[in-house]
């Protein structure tokens, strides 16, 4: 018997917004990806909130913000509590993406949509799976299984296959790549069996991909020509996804003595650059056959970089000598180190800005790709700066008042950790009688005195932590005022650890640097999308995530060359893609259910009745009236044909009931 299948598009339909979809199979609801856009719009969140407690499982296809950015917010702020399935690299690299995103945003503004605890809580729910591992679901998902298959776009990237025993076979494929690359094998989507339902993205439906050789030559040529004129190169990339292809390629190029690049600096700049490289070293088994063979034969890890300098902040970056090539996050230039470096280098005609990803419309990177350079642009510059003297005084007064308020609410507790340690040290020296008398006297009023608290020393693995301010030199000028020498620059201090504020201002920037777009997205093009449709010939096809033109190209092709139902839903639309056209979900009243005689069947308890069906409002869920069961009819009796329903129409039907599913076959 067929299952009821519904597909609800929350985001990523007839546009380039992030993928986020609800897939219902009978009573079980999957959340397919949960991406968040660059502006962190709450539209998709508002759509999702009403379904949060109905979601039974989340399937993540890729580790970037565009596929899982909403997960920390949904878990930390909305109460999402269900298993999340992802491959091991998606789990590890996904954390790197979200850590880097959070730190990048906190460095320029007071970001509060989610914190690092929310990120940790979200990834604690991830169940890590391997490719081709069959995972059988439990509870309402009995009979359902999921399988992760390689997508070829990012390390651990996944095409999900959802199956129900003897019935549906659903394939969810977004952002996959059919071509073999340096660090990844291509996807084998075209060799799947015929699925009942194929959910396919159309992002490159009208796009022809350049050959890999010409793409690499364009990148190398741009780098060579820029460095030879003493210019710098900014490559805007993601945190821990497509950057692995680029950084592996460039390190190999720097190792080649004939290239002459060893005298120039190559930098990887993100807040988690070290961790990203370390994770990549441990994920060789998820990468291309060529890398695996090289690793097994030479025992040399391909991600052990000899020429890449790992930088975690702008202070480290500024210490690297120029000219230099820097791979900095994020690829959209809307936040992160890439935006800071762009503002620094954009006005110098000797520099080059290489954009490797066509980000969403409205982002700075997309604007530069569409309109190029040699023009003025107005940017909103955001940065975090230390508080000035007056603001610092106000901050200290506020902190003291909060401490006093805390001590009033709990007068017996010390005001700070240092005081607790001091009191604890004093108590150790007192006898029991003295301690009891001290506790009694502490509640009484004591005369005013000047307290002394011994400073608690903090240690790291190398001993006592040295405070830099203790070694700052001061000199007296002719005006008998102290002038601070060797003053620490703002970049040398983590502004998130000291009292600071965020400032924002408009700045006109003349873009004189060379703007180059080189496709390193690692997605299949329109020709392969058409080949996939022809090879699989799905019984039903849903086209998602692509601008209207690219979606129309694939839609028209599918309608002509395959005999299938083809859908191109809009955002907010719910599709009923049940394979049997006349099947509806129903609910039974308790009085009717109590009169049904159930018999044991091969797949559960079954019953056969005649009853009247009434449409319940305008909802797709219908209810059976409380009527007495009539005589048992033959199983193949056809009482009537389906006619248009209205709120007042009722009719007789044959009904099959199982403890696990509710079916109404008309």
pLDDT in tens, 315-338: 999 999 999 999 999 999 999 999
Which residue, among 559, 525, 527, has the nearest Cα to 541 in the 3D structure?
A: 559
Is residue 561 predicted with pLDDT exceeding 50? yes
For residue 87, give the DSSP letter.
E
Is residue 203 predicted with pLDDT exceeding 70? yes
Residue 633's pLDDT band (boundaries 50, 70, 90)? very low
Rounded mean pLDDT, 92-103:
96
Q: What is the pLDDT of residue 545?
A: 93
Q: 292 vs 441, which has greater pLDDT?
A: 292
Q: What is the pLDDT of residue 379?
A: 92
Residue for token pair 């009719």 = 651
pLDDT in tens, 143-162: 899 999 999 999 999 999 99
Alpha-carbon gap, residue 253 to 259, rounded angstroms: 7
Cα three-residue angle 395-401-403, rounded to 5 degrees: 105
Give the E-state strand segments of 40-187 in sequence order: 57-59, 84-87, 126-129, 134-136, 144-150, 158-164, 169-173
Q: What is the pLDDT of residue 422?
A: 46
Q: What is the pLDDT of residue 659?
A: 37
Q: Do residues 35 and 20 lie in contact, with contact meaning Cβ atoms separated by under 8 Å?
A: yes
For residue 631, give the DSSP letter.
P
For residue 39, give the DSSP letter.
T
Q: What is the dihedral of CA 317, 282, 70, 247, to 10 degrees?
A: 40
Q: What is the pLDDT of residue 664?
A: 42
Q: What is the pLDDT of residue 431?
A: 44
Q: Who contacts 263 (Cβ-Cβ below 8 Å, separation ≥6)?
A: none
Q: Which residues are 23's β-sheet partners?
A: 7, 30
Residue 461's pLDDT band (boundaries 50, 70, 90)? confident
Q: Do residues 58 and 85 lie in contact, with contact meaning Cβ atoms separated by under 8 Å?
A: yes
Alpha-carbon gap, residue 239 to 249, rounded angstroms: 16
Alpha-carbon gap, residue 183 to 163, rounded angstroms: 30
Alpha-carbon gap, residue 529 to 190, rounded angstroms: 9
Residue 467's pLDDT band (boundaries 50, 70, 90)? low
Q: What is the pLDDT of residue 651?
A: 37
Q: 360 vs 33, which has greater pLDDT?
A: 33
Rounded mean pLDDT, 66-73:
97
Is residue 647 predicted with pLDDT exceeding 60? no
Residue 494's pLDDT band (boundaries 50, 70, 90)? low
Is residue 445 predicted with pLDDT exceeding 90? no
Is residue 630 predicted with pLDDT exceeding 60? no
- The overall average pLDDT reported for the chain is 82
Structure tokens at 533: 């449709």
For residue 131, give the DSSP letter.
B
pLDDT in tens, 384-441: 888 888 888 888 888 888 777 776 666 555 444 444 444 444 444 444 444 444 444 4
Q: 450 vs 608, which has greater pLDDT?
A: 608
Q: What is the pLDDT of residue 593?
A: 72
Which helix (H) or strand (E) segment holds residue 226: the answer is helix 212-228
Q: What is the pLDDT of residue 393?
A: 84
Is residue 636 predicted with pLDDT exceeding 70? no
Label residue 172 left, alpha or beta by phi (over 0 means left) and psi (-120 to 50 means alpha).
beta
Burial label for 622, CB within 10 Å (0-12, 13-18, 19+), is middle
**3-class DSSP state for residue 306?**
coil
The length of the chain in residues reads 666
Q: 562 vs 120, which has greater pLDDT?
A: 120
């Amino acid at each position: 018997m067929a299952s009821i299948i519904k597909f609800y598009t929350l985001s990523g339909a007839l546009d380039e917004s992030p993928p986020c979809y609800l897939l219902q199979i009978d009573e079980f609801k999957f959340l397919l990806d949960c991406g968040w856009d660059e502006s962190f719009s709450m539209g998709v969140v508002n759509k999702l909130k009403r379904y949060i407690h109905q979601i039974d499982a989340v399937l993540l296809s890729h580790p970037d913000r565009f596929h899982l950015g909403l997960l920390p917010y949904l878990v930390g702020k909305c109460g999402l509590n269900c298993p999340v399935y992802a491959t091991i690299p998606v789990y590890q690299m996904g954390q790197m993406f979200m850590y880097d995103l959070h730190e990048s945003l906190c460095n320029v503004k007071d970001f509060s949509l989610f914190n690092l605890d929310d990120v940790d809580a979200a990834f604690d729910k991830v169940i890590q799976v391997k490719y081709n591992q069959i995972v059988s679901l439990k509870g309402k998902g009995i009979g359902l299984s999921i399988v992760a298959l390689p997508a070829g776009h990012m390390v651990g990237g996944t095409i999900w296959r959802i199956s129900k025993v003897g019935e549906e076979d659903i394939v969810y494929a977004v952002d996959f790549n059919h071509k073999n690359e340096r660090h990844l094998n291509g996807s084998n989507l075209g060799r799947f069996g015929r699925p009942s339902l194929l959910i396919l993205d159309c992002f490159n439906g009208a796009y022809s991909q350049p050959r890999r050789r010409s793409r690499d030559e364009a990148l190398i040529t741009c780098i060579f020509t820029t460095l030879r004129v003493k210019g710098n190169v900014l490559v805007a990339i993601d945190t821990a996804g497509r950057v692995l292809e680029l950084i592996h390629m460039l390190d190999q190029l720097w190792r080649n003595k004939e290239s002459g690049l060893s005298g120039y600096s190559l930098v990887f700049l993100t807040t988690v650059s070290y961790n990203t490289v370390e994770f990549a070293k441990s994920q060789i088994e998820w990468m291309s056959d060529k890398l695996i063979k090289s690793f097994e034969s030479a025992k040399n890890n391909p991600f052990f970089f000899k020429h890449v300098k790992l930088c975690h902040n702008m202070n480290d970056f500024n210490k690297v000598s120029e000219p230099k090539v820097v791979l900095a996050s994020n690829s959209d230039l809307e936040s992160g180190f890439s935006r800071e470096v762009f503002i620094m280098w954009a006005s110098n005609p000797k520099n080059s800005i290489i954009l490797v990803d066509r980000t969403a419309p409205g982002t700075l990177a997309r604007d530069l790709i569409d309109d190029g350079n040699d023009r003025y642009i107005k940017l909103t510059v955001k940065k975090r700066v230390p508080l000035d003297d007056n603001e610092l005084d106000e901050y200290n007064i506020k902190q003291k008042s909060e401490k006093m308020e805390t001590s009033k609410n709990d007068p017996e507790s010390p005001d700070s950790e240092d005081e607790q340690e001091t009191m604890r040290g004093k108590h150790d020296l007192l006898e029991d009688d003295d301690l009891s008398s001290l506790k009694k006297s502490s509640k009484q009023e004591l005369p005013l005195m000047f307290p002394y608290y011994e400073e608690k020393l903090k240690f790291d693995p190398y001993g006592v932590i040295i405070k830099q301010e203790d070694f700052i030199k001061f000199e007296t000028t002719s005006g008998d005022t102290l002038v601070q020498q060797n003053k620490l620059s703002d970049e040398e201090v983590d502004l998130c650890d000291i009292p600071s504020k965020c400032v924002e201002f408009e700045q006109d920037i003349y873009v004189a640097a060379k703007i180059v777009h080189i496709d390193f997205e690692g997605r299949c093009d329109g020709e392969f999308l058409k080949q996939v449709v022809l090879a699989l010939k799905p019984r039903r096809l849903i086209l998602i995530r692509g601008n209207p033109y690219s979606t129309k190209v694939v839609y028209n092709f599918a309608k002509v060359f395959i005999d299938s139902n083809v859908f191109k839903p809009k955002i907010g639309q719910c599709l009923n893609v049940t394979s049997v056209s006349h099947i509806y979900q129903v609910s039974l009243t308790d009085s009717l259910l109590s009169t049904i005689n159930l018999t044991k069947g091969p797949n559960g308890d079954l019953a056969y009745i005649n009853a009247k069906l009434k449409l319940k409002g305008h909802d797709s869920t219908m209810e059976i009236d409380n009527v007495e069961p009539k005589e048992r009819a033959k199983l193949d009796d056809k009482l009537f044909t389906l006619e248009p329903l209205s709120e007042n129409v009722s009719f007789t039907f044959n009904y099959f009931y199982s403890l696990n599913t509710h079916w109404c076959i008309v």
